[in-house]
Chain A
Amino acid sequence: MAKVTQLVHNYLRHSKRFPHVFCPGCGHGIVLGSLIRSIHSLGLAKDDVVLVAGIGCSGRIPVYVDFNTIHTTHGRALTFATGIKLANPRLKVIVIMGDGDALSIGGNHLIHAARRNIGVTALVLNNHIYGMTGGQSSCTTPMGSFSTTTPFGQLEEEFDISRVTKVCGASFVARTTVMQAKTMDSMISEAVLHPGFGLVEIISPCHTQYGRKNKFKSCVDMYKWLQKSSTPLEKFKEMSPEKQEKAIATGIFEKRDCEGLEEKYARMRRNLRGER
C-alpha cells in the first residue's frame, strides 16, 4: 500500500495547493489513482501525456497531476483533444469528462470523435448527476430517480454511454466501476494503447449530490450497491431481463483493429507529398 501511495506521489504536483476539491467518498479520486497507475505501468513519459478535461468535478482532476494538463470548456474537451492529436500524433491524449460533460452538452463531439476514430482516450466518469453544480439531472440520470431539477422523479430515458459510443463507431469501448480498481487500471491501459478512439465509462459514485437524494444512507451504502450491481458482461448476458434492469454490465463491449484518423491523415499527406 505504501508503495502505491509513493508511486502516486511521484506524479502529483506538489506546487499545487492541496487539499483537492473532491468530497469525502467521491469516486473521482479513485479514477485519478487508477489513471496514474496505468500510465506508470505503460512506462509513458510525463512529457508525452496530455490530460484534457471538461468542466465539472471530473474536470478538476488534471490540475493535480504533473502531465501537460488542460482544463477546457464544458462539453468541448474532445474538440481540443482532436486538435492536439492531429497537430502532434506522438502525444498520448487522454480526455476526462463527466457524464453531463460528455453526453449532455458534449454529445455532438462525442459521437463524432467516435465516428472519426481520432486516436484519443476518453474516460467518462459517470455519476448519473451534475455533481459540480449541485445535483441537477443529467442525460444519464436513471428514469424515476431524483435530482434538484427532477424533484418528482426523472421522466426521461437515460443514455447508455458505452452503447451510444459503440454504435457511433468507436473501436474500443469498455465499462467498469471504481469498485474494480485493478480492472479499471488494466482497462485504462488497454484503452490508451489502443489506436483509434477508445472510451472507458467508469461508474463513479457521487453521494453528495446523487446518493443523498436517492435513498443511499451513506457513501458506503453506495459503494456496496455498486459492488453488488456490477456484473461482468458474460454473466450479464445470461441474466433475465428483470435482473439486467438492476445490474450494471461491466467489461469490454468493443475492441477491433483500427487506424486512428491522425494516422490516416499522415499517410494521405505522405502520399501527396511523395514521401515514403
Chain B
Amino acid sequence: MASKSRKNKFTEIFALGNEAVVEGALLAGCTFYAGYPITPSTEIAEEMANRLPHLRGGVFIQMEDEIAGLGAVIGASLAGRKAMTATSGPGFSLMQEHIGYACITEVPLVLVNVMRSGPSTGMPTNPAQGDVQQARWGTHGDHPIIVLSACDVQECLEMTVTAFNYAEKYRTPVILLLDEITAHTREKIRLPDPDELNIFSRLTPSMPPEWYMPYEDNMRGVASMPPLGSGYRYHVTGLIHDDHGYPTSNPREVEQIMHRLFRKIDQFFYDIQMVDEIMCEDAEVCVVAYGCVARSAALAVQQARERGIRAGLLKLKTLFPFPRPAVEKMLRQCSSILVPEMNMGQISREIKRVNNGQSKILTLNRVDGQIITPAQILGKIQKG
C-alpha cells in the first residue's frame, strides 16, 4: 500500500500499530528478533519473520517460550546486534527475570509489551493499561528502567526508534508499552526518510583490549560495549560485579555499581523525559494521559475548550523515569488534574506521590476492557 509522495522524499503507508513498530525497528537498525506469539502483539513477530531474512544478517526466530525469546535477544545483543522482542501480559510476566538480567548486565534491547486485559489470561483481545507498574517494578531487585508509550500508529514507529536509541545510548533494556487499541489501529503514517532520522548505536571500545573495562564508572555512567568475538574478552554475569565484570560482594563495589546504574539514567533525565503539552499554557484543568486514552483525552479537551473551559492535555510519552518536572509544572498551575487510565490508578498514584497538595487529583478508571471515551473524560472535566 506504499505510495511515494511527490513533493518530499518520505513515503506514506497505511499500517497497523504493530506494523509501524516493525518499520520503526528496521529504521533503527534492528536485525534480530526472537519471541513467542501472543495476541495482541503477534503481528510484530509475523512481520519480522517476513522482513528480517531479506536484510543483511537479519535473523528471526520463534522460541519455545517468552523466557527463551528474551534470552536469545540478550545473547544476540551481546553479539553486537540491535535486537528486540514483543509480547503481551502473560508473556511479559514470564520475561521478568531476564529483564533484570539485562538491567544488571547493561545489555541494550527493546521489549514491546502490547497490553491486554489481565490479570492472567484475562481478555486476550481487549485493551488495558494494567502493566504500567509491572513495567517499572516487575523484575526483582532495585533497578532503573526506561518505559515509553505510544498513542497512535505514527507514534508506534517513532517511539520504537526512540526506544532503540535509548537502549543503545544508555546500555539498558527499554520497554515500549502499547495497548491493544493502538496496536490494532490501522491508519496512514509517514515513513521517514532514513537520512532525516537520528539513529544512535552503542559505542564500541577503541582502547587496547587489556585496558577495556566493561562496567567502567566513567562520566556518562555508560561503558563502551564490544560485540562478542571482537578481541575484547570479558565476563558477563547476573551476579553483582565489579567494573571488570567479576562477581563481587564487597560493599563499596556493590554500592558503586548500583549507584552508577541509577545515575546513568537519572543524569540524562531531560533527554529521556518526553511529553506533549497540548493547550497547557493557560490550562486550569489538565488531563494527564498516555496510550490510546490520550487520543480520547485530546478530543475531550478540545470539546471542553469549545464549552469555555480552560482545559489542557499533558500526554506522557515517557512513563519511567517518571516525568516529574512536567507534571509538577501542571500541578502548580492547575486547580485540578484528571488522570484517566485503563487500570485502577497506576499513573495517578505517581502523580499523587509528587503532588504537594497544590492541586486536586481526579481519577477516571476503566477496567472492563473498553476504551475510555471522550464523552467520559469531558463529563469528568465538566463535573470537576
Contact = CB atoms under 8 A, between A and B. Distances in A.
Interface stretch (B8-16, B227-235, B306-314, B376-384): B227-235
A34 interface: no
Interface in B47-65: 53-54, 56-59, 61, 63-65
A87 B235 contact: no
A72 B71 contact: yes
B326 interface: no
Nearest to B31: A87
B247 A83 contact: no
Interface string B109-143: 00000000000000000000000000000000000
A273 B70 CA distance: 27
B76 A83 contact: yes
Contacts of A112: 63-64, 68
A80 B230 CA distance: 18
Closest 7 CB pairs of A and B: A83-B75, A79-B71, A83-B72, A87-B79, A71-B237, A80-B75, A87-B76
Interface residues of A, number: 39
Contacts of A273: 53-54, 56
Which applies to chain B's interface (DSSP): helix, strand, loop or mixed? mixed
B32 interface: yes
Contacts of B98: 73, 76
B227 A88 contact: yes
Contacts of A83: 32, 34, 71-79, 83
Given A83-B74, A269-B54, 13 more contacts: A15-B246, A17-B246, A46-B233, A47-B229, A47-B230, A52-B75, A69-B233, A70-B235, A71-B237, A76-B71, A83-B79, A84-B79, A87-B32
Contact of A70 (B32, B54, B78, B80): B78
B364 interface: no
A47 B231 contact: yes
B97 interface: yes
Interface-central residue, A13, A46, A76, by most chain B CB under 10 Å: A76
Interface of B: 32, 34, 53-54, 56-59, 61, 63-65, 67-81, 83, 97-98, 101, 227-231, 233-239, 244, 246-247
29 contacts: A17-B246, A47-B231, A67-B233, A69-B235, A70-B78, A71-B235, A72-B101, A79-B69, A80-B72, A80-B75, A82-B68, A83-B72, A83-B74, A84-B75, A84-B78, A84-B79, A86-B32, A86-B59, A86-B61, A88-B227, A88-B228, A88-B229, A90-B229, A91-B79, A108-B64, A112-B68, A269-B53, A272-B53, A273-B53
Contacts of B246: 15-17, 63
Contact of A84 (B70, B76, B239): B76
A54 B248 CA distance: 18
Contact of A63 (B73, B228, B237): B237
Contacts of B73: 83
A66 B56 CA distance: 31
B147 to A, nearest CB: 22
A265 interface: yes
A193 B364 CA distance: 62
Contacts of B72: 79-80, 82-83, 86
Contacts of A84: 75-76, 78-79, 228
A15 B244 CA distance: 9
B251 to A, nearest CB: 16
Nearest to A64: B235
A108 B233 contact: no
A80 B69 CA distance: 9
A68 B214 CA distance: 12
Contacts of B67: 76, 79
Interface in A129-172: none
Contacts of A109: 64, 68, 71
Nearest to A63: B235
Interface-central residue, B64, B69, B228, by most chain A CB under 10 Å: B228
Contacts of B32: 83, 86-87
A46 to B, nearest CB: 6
A87 B81 contact: yes
Nearest to A67: B233
A268 interface: yes
A157 B32 CA distance: 40
Interface in A41-97: 46-48, 50, 52, 62-63, 66-73, 76, 79-84, 86-88, 90-91
Interface-central residue, B71, B77, B234, B246, by most chain A CB under 10 Å: B71
Contacts of B239: 71
B236 A70 contact: yes
Given A50-B228, A71-B238, A79 B247 contact: no
A62 B235 contact: yes
A82 B75 contact: yes
Contact of B233 (A68, A73, A81, A87): A68
Interface-central residue, A48, A79, A273, by most chain B CB under 10 Å: A79
